[in-house]
Structure 1
Amino acid sequence: MSVLSAKVRLRRRAWFALWAAPLPIWFALFFMGPMLLLIAMSFWSVQNYRLTPDFSLSAWSYVLSLDFLWSTFWRSYGLSLISAALVSLLAFPASYAMAFLITPARRLTFLGLALAPFFTSYLVRIYSLQVFLGEGGVLPQLFHSVGLSGASLLNSYTALFLGHATLTLPVVLVLQTLALGNVDRTEMSAAVNLGARPQHVLRHIILPAARPGLSLGVLFAFLLSYAEFVSATYLGGGVFQTLPILLTDLIRGGQQWPRAAVVSLLMMAALMLTSLVTVAWAYRQKGN
């Protein structure tokens, strides 16, 4: 009997291991493998425009000695953080309405409409924004008709933010709606019955309960904006030096892949640290 039970347990463990195997395999192939290659590449060298396996600190010393490296780093970080915060605030009223003010059937319809932009190429959406923001475009003409400046909005922080919003707003909207939709209605009803005002219910019940989902929405908006290259190039015009633009400049300047690997590792370190801090704050215990 014990031998039979041992065989059953062994089969169950093998079955569970078979189902769990894709996750570590995926993690090794698509994260740890490229990460280790990127680390190794940062110590390689370029000889006669060819990437050569080596152990050299030249790429690290070159990148870290750039005068504009840290200004570019903090510009990219700050722009992405501000864009994530503004997009989250912009999406919240719509998310709140979909979570609490409309029926579930209509909510699904609106969520489907929120995801509709992903059926179009992001590059196409950015090109269409050029038509709206460029000189003689829709928005400049609208501003001119009300007596404001009708100059082109391209190559500005406004255009860069609109590009980030085009990419991240649908994602944030969906995450916020799902987070708010899981808030316990019983606590909300009890607070209202005890005379709590709507702003107090929002502050003390809804926001704390939905904090993980709302925080993840901000985090995803930040992650997508931080590594965004298309908006910085076609809407910002390359005027605002960001880390993705610096990456392309390093590669074009003599196929300097090791230097690009160093910048990529710095970006990944910032992203990982920000993600850990955000997740730790999102899932901390109430009252801490």
Structure 2
Amino acid sequence: MITRTAPPSKTTREPRSFSAAALATGTPLLLWQALFFMGAGVVLVLMSFWTIKNFRLVPEYSLENWRDLLEDNLFRLIYLRTILYAGLAAILATLFAFPLAYGLAFTLLARARRVGLLLLIVPFFTSYLVRIYAWTFILADDGPINYALRSIGLPGSGMQGTLFAMEIGLLTAVFPLVTLILLLSLMNVDRTLIEAAHNLGAGRWRTIWEVVVPGARIGIVSAFSFAFMIAFGDYVSPSFLGGSTRNTLSILIVGATNAGGDFPKAAAIALVMVITLILILFGSFRLAFPPRKPA
């Protein structure tokens, strides 16, 4: 009697070779990144070591720009202030967006969820600058908020040029995106774990804290990181809503280029911002994907 044995199964997959289609579609993207990101970054690094002589850009090596920045107490103050403003906006956006995203993901029906998604996408159809101009009118001394306060006998409040007004503008920029990121993350949380927590007697708040939040950790960290990056580099809200006393690094860059065309100084400030964002992204990545402890 002849018996046939099945061929041994392959335990490892052979590496896939790059196809012509993948190469054709990926090459333009790589060229785009190399030209407009890496190329611009190289120019930025080189320019930060150049100097200005007789109002002309001179491509000669000098540490003067970096020395002036590191020794400038005002620059250090504005740098810390920019981190504070961006961090506050990112924290507020994440805290306010999480309940909204949770409600869209777990409490609404599919049709209502689609309507909610549409409402979150609608702000992207309008210009961010137009929305900030609208807030300058709403928060003005003779705007609708102060008019409503005075109509009921309360004194009006000068909100224009305050930290509150600037954070409102930053939240206008980041809140819809943060909510979308959190919503996508919460919709991927395993529902069986939530049901198991309820079956074991866990209440709603304990389930959210011990099941939902850990399950959506990557999305929460990503949403905070995106909000911080956008708020950290924003120029419109600090300029139009923050007033003249709340300078940020973006305002310093614009001021350096407008006053005498000091592009080397502006490049050095921009590199400080890039390095800061890289460190923030690295820390966020470690928080979202912590190293596994050895068994």
Q: Same fold (TM over 0.5)?
A: yes
Match of 1:207 among 213, 219, 234: 213
What are the residue-to-residue correspondences of 1:112-131 with 2, within 5 Å?
A: 112-131=118-137
Report what 1:55 is aligned to.
Answer: 61
SS of 1:135's partner is coil
Structure 1, unpaired ranges of 5+: 1-8
Paired AA for residue 58 in structure 1 = E
- Is the CA contact 1:238–1:245 (under 8 Å) kept in the aligned structure 2? no
Report what 1:150 is aligned to.
Answer: 156
How far does residue 231 in structure 1 lie from its aligned partner after superposition? 0.7
Separation (CA, whole Å) in 2 of partners of 1:67 and 1:86 = 29
Paired AA for residue 115 in structure 1 = I
Note if 1:96 corresponds to 2:102.
yes
Q: Deviations over 1:209-248 (max 9, x none)?
A: 1010111111111111001111111111232111111111
- Is the CA contact 1:136–1:152 (under 8 Å) kept in the aligned structure 2? no
Runs of 4 or more consecutive aligned structure 1 residues displaced over 4 Å after TM superposition = 9-15, 145-148, 285-288
Paired AA for residue 95 in structure 2 = L
Separation (CA, whole Å) in 2 of partners of 1:71 and 1:277 = 23
Q: Are the structure 2 counterparts of residues 161 and 10 from structure 1 closer, same or farther at C-alpha, using a change threshold of 3 Å? A: closer
Report what 1:251 is aligned to.
Answer: 257
Q: Are the structure 2 counterparts of residues 113 and 286 from structure 1 closer, same or farther at C-alpha, using a change threshold of 3 Å? A: farther
Q: Deviations over 1:19-47 (max 9, x none)?
A: 43234323211221111100000111122
TM-score normalised by L of structure 2:
0.89
Separation (CA, whole Å) in 1 of partners of 2:252 and 2:259 = 11
Separation (CA, whole Å) in 1 of partners of 2:197 and 2:19 = 48
Note if 1:178 corresponds to 2:184.
yes
* Residues paired across the two proteins, number: 280
Q: Are the structure 2 counterparts of residues 10 and 273 from structure 1 closer, same or farther at C-alpha, using a change threshold of 3 Å? A: closer
Paired AA for residue 111 in structure 2 = A
Match of 1:224 among 220, 224, 230: 230
Report what 2:27 is aligned to.
Answer: 21
How far does residue 146 in structure 1 lie from its aligned partner after superposition? 5.1
TM-score normalised by L of structure 1:
0.91
| Higher-helix-fraction structure | 1
Structure 2, unpaired ranges of 5+: 1-14
How far does residue 145 in structure 1 lie from its aligned partner after superposition? 4.4
Match of 1:39 among 24, 40, 45: 45
Separation (CA, whole Å) in 1 of partners of 2:279 and 2:70 = 19
Which segment is superposed worse, 206-215 or 242-251?
242-251
How far does residue 15 in structure 1 lie from its aligned partner after superposition? 4.4
Q: Are the structure 2 counterparts of residues 146 and 85 from structure 1 closer, same or farther at C-alpha, using a change threshold of 3 Å? A: farther
Paired AA for residue 136 in structure 2 = Q
